[in-house]
């Protein structure tokens, strides 16, 4: 059953409850910078992992990759060139972005990790270590 507004002949009480919270916090959240995060896909294959990370607007030189203590770290630093010297900025939505994301991977051959960056997508290939476990053998008792 839908809520029915019952007039009290008083503007203070003639409020639809759904409208009361409609703009709750809007002024606060509109002033807060949007939290950006690196959107990623991680695909596991038999012999490797592939991480695909979206980094639109970044250059290859602004991205740093590190694999240490079984953790892959992606850091992207973007600086927007100030064009206000040529004119007056009347509206600005682009900002400097410093993004960071970490993922844990075990049993990786860190000497063979490879990465490419094409059209705003970072591809990181993490080959799995090939375990050289000796085959079990039966020992004959004399």
Q: Give the pLDDT band of residue 40 (cuts 50, 70, 90).
A: very high
Is the Cβ–Cβ distance between 38 and 75 less than 8 Å? no
Domain boundaries, given as residue ranges, for the chain: 37-127
Give the count of beta carbons closer than 10 Å to the beta carbon of residue 115.
16
Share of the chain above pLDDT 90, in %: 44
Helix (H) or strand (E) holding 31: helix 26-31
CATH code reported for the domain at 37-127:
2.60.40.790
pLDDT higher than threshold 80 for residue 98: yes
Residue-wise pLDDT for 47-76, tens only, equals: 999 999 999 888 999 999 999 999 999 999
Q: What is the pTM of this model?
A: 0.64
At residue 90, the pLDDT reads: 78
Mean pLDDT across 18-25: 58
Q: In degrees, to the nearest 5, what angle opens at C-alpha 44 toward C-alphas 41 and 48?
A: 115
Q: Which residues sit opposite 36 in a β-bridge?
A: none
Position 22 scores a pLDDT of 58
pLDDT bin (cut points 50, 70, 90) of residue 27 is: low
Instruction: Report the DSSP beta bridge partners of residue 123.
Output: 52, 116
Res 37: pLDDT: 80
Residue 32, pLDDT score: 47
Identify whether the C-beta of residue 41 lies closer than 8 Å to the C-beta of residue 49.
no
Torsion sign over Cα 65, 66, 67, 73? negative
Query: With 70 as the cut, is the pLDDT of residue 85 above it?
Result: no
Q: Report pLDDT for 13.
A: 56
More confident residue, 30 or 98: 98
Is 102:51 a contact under the CB 8 Å cutoff? no
């Amino acid at each position: 059953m839908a809520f029915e507004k019952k007039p009290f002949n008083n503007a203070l009480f003639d409020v639809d409850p759904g409208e009361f919270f409609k703009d709750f916090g809007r002024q606060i959240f509109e002033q807060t910078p949007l939290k950006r995060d690196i959107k990623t896909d991680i695909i596991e294959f038999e012999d490797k992992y592939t991480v695909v990370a979206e980094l639109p607007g970044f250059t290859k030189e602004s991205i740093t990759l590190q694999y240490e203590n079984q953790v892959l770290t992606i850091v992207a630093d973007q600086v927007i060139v100030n064009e206000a010297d040529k004119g007056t900025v009347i509206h600005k939505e682009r900002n400097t972005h410093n993004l960071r994301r970490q993922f844990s991977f075990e049993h990786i051959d860190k000497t063979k990790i490879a990465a490419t960056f094409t059209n705003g997508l970072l591809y990181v290939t993490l080959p799995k270590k090939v375990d050289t476990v000796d085959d079990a053998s039966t020992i004959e008792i004399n």
